[in-house]
Amino acid sequence: MKQSTMGIWVAGALLAMSTAALADTVVKIGFSSPLSGPQAHYGKDNENAAKMAIDDLNAKPITIAGQKVKFELVSEDDQADPRIGTQVAQRLVDAGVKAVIGHYNSGVSIPASRIYADAGVPQLSVSTNPAYTQSGYKTTFRLVGSDSQIGGALGRYAIQQLKAQRIAVIDDRTAYGQGIADEFIKAVQGMGKKPVRREFTSDKATDFTAILTSLKAVAPDVIFYGGADAQAAPMAKQMKRLGINAHLMGGDMLNTPTFIQLAGPDAAGHFAAVAGSELSARPAGKDFEARYKARFKQEIISLGPQFYDGVMLVADAMKRANSTEPGKFLPMIANTTYKGVTADFSFDGSGNLKKAPVTISAVENNDWKVKSTVY
């Protein structure tokens, strides 16, 4: 090789090495929620917030192990279906994601958690069924309180604040619906009361006339529903039509603008609880809410802010570990003390959020009004 040719080759190699050194390291973060079907409004809310987090991180690039990092969100639609959820989980692992923020539904998160655990990929979820963190996986973290906390808070509120004497319970037979209904009943029984009736329905049902007509005979003053807003709204309307003067209560899947839109005037006076503090009460909450509304031209639906926090928490763990490899930053998640938009995050040995706040609200003047926040 001639000297001039050798010089060109060396210069080219050095330029390539220099360019490689300057190139961003792309870090894929997995996301999954129902993005189609009757629960798509929850999923799009979650995805919007996760995208906000990715954009916020990329707007002020961070350097890890000497390399600038560019984050990329890999979104999947699990359709709130456990079978599809496990397929999605495998696709995310195969895509090389470093962490997963999701899934939304407990019935999807629980079977998917094994796939992430086998791959050593951290999973941060808003799923509330206690079973989600009871498998002993070191990769599993819950970004909100569990059904024990949410259902328990609602049960105590029904007895102590609403002075309920005759409580009926309905659930949609999903892992979420059954789980939160069970915990609500435990809390009610712990206060010395016993539900007068428990009924079951489907997460696809919209006609509850038969169940409600049966319940009317026992004159409930509270009806607890474990399920989503798409079923709770027609239930509220049918309660009104049948002359059932009871408060409808439910968890975070009921506490949405969609419930009010679908139920109309019949939404008034009903209660729901969400995992987390009122956003306006958090130092960064007001700013997040304003930015979300300005960008997406809509209200926050439900737990999107927790998905934002999940992405940011993972990035913070990577910075502290100075690594984007799950094996290196996973211990940093387990030992985090991250101050997020929705909570101060730290986890117990099972991956449950410590000191998880629960906010109880009621529909007044066509809006959700906070009544109580408990820990």
Question: Block means of pLDDT (10 residues each) for the chain, length 375 residues?
Answer: 49 44 82 96 97 97 94 98 98 98 96 98 95 96 92 95 97 94 96 96 95 97 96 98 97 94 97 86 90 96 95 98 98 96 94 92 96 86
Same domain membership, residue 221 and residue 141 = no
Give the length of the chain: 375
Number of domains in the chain: 2
* In a domain? residue 257: yes
Same domain membership, residue 287 and residue 265 = no
Please spell the DSSP secondary structure of 304-335, one letter per residue. Answer: HHHHHHHHHHHHHHHHHHT--SHHHHHHHHHT
3-state secondary structure of 216: helix
Range of the domain at 181: 148-275+359-374
* In a domain? residue 124: yes
Instruction: Give, in degrees to the nearest 5, the angle at Cα 146 between 98 and 220.
Output: 145
* In a domain? residue 320: yes
pLDDT value for 294? 97
Same domain membership, residue 170 and residue 154 = yes
pLDDT value for 374? 83
Same domain membership, residue 158 and residue 79 = no
* In a domain? residue 3: no
* In a domain? residue 228: yes
Same domain membership, residue 124 and residue 172 = no
Radius of gyration for the chain, computed over Cα atoms and rounded to the nearest angstrom = 23
Q: How would you class 334 by CB atoms within 10 Å of its CB: exposed for 0-12, middle for 13-18, buried for 19 or more? A: middle
Same domain membership, residue 307 and residue 217 = no
Half-sphere exposure of residue 362, counting CA atoms within 13 Å on the CB side?
A: 13
Same domain membership, residue 365 and residue 239 = yes
Same domain membership, residue 190 and residue 122 = no
Q: Name the nearest CA neighbour of 348 among 180, 176, 146.
A: 146
Q: Are 71 and 58 in contact (CB under 8 A)?
A: yes
* In a domain? residue 354: no
Q: How is residue 185 annotated by DSSP? A: H
pLDDT value for 10? 46
Question: What is the CATH number for 183?
Answer: 3.40.50.2300
* In a domain? residue 5: no
pLDDT value for 20? 43
Number of H helices, E strands in the chain: 12, 15
Same domain membership, residue 213 and residue 112 = no
pLDDT value for 23? 59
* In a domain? residue 1: no
How many whole angstroms from its chain centre is CA 40?
Answer: 13
Same domain membership, residue 121 and residue 205 = no
CA torsion 67-292-175-202 (nearest 10°) is -140
Half-sphere exposure of residue 165, counting CA atoms within 13 Å on the CB side?
A: 2
pTM above 0.85, yes or no: no
Same domain membership, residue 299 and residue 363 = no
pLDDT value for 151? 93
Same domain membership, residue 106 and residue 229 = no
Angstrom distance (rounded) from CA 268 to CA 55 = 37
